[in-house]
Structure 1
Amino acid sequence: MPADFPPWPRVYASFARWRDTGLATELHDRLREAVRRIRWRKTRSAASRALSARRVLGRLKRAPSAALRWR
């Protein structure tokens, strides 16, 4: 244990109390959901960019001036 932590029995007692009341599980679940939301946003914005690029490329194939009007 790091030197700035209290003695390990006190730390373990706090953890055991959190575990018994369900707080440790609650914290874990909230952190997992936050990470999932952040990852979803990153993949979502990358997917949106890919779709936008496909639309522009598709319009360029049909008519170059149509792709410029789309913006």
Structure 2
Amino acid sequence: MSPEELVGLEKLQTYVDGFVPARCVNRAGNPILDAKGNERVEKRLINTKELLGCKSIAEVKVCLGTNRD
């Protein structure tokens, strides 16, 4: 990889490391608890094909689930 590509990869890794796990909720929006009574969280999956097809920042936010205010 070129130095520019390595810098880009570092930026991407830093960005991805900042992702927050997704809270598990039921259809009513209430948190799902594990056996110990703690909120369940899961890693978030990202559809990279859809993400790469986004044509605007708004579409990216929807794809990543970060469009909440």
Shorter-chain TM-score range: 0.3 to 0.5
For normalisation by structure 2, the TM-score amounts to 0.35
Specify which structure has the higher proportion of strand.
2
Specify which structure has the higher proportion of helix.
1
For normalisation by structure 1, the TM-score amounts to 0.35
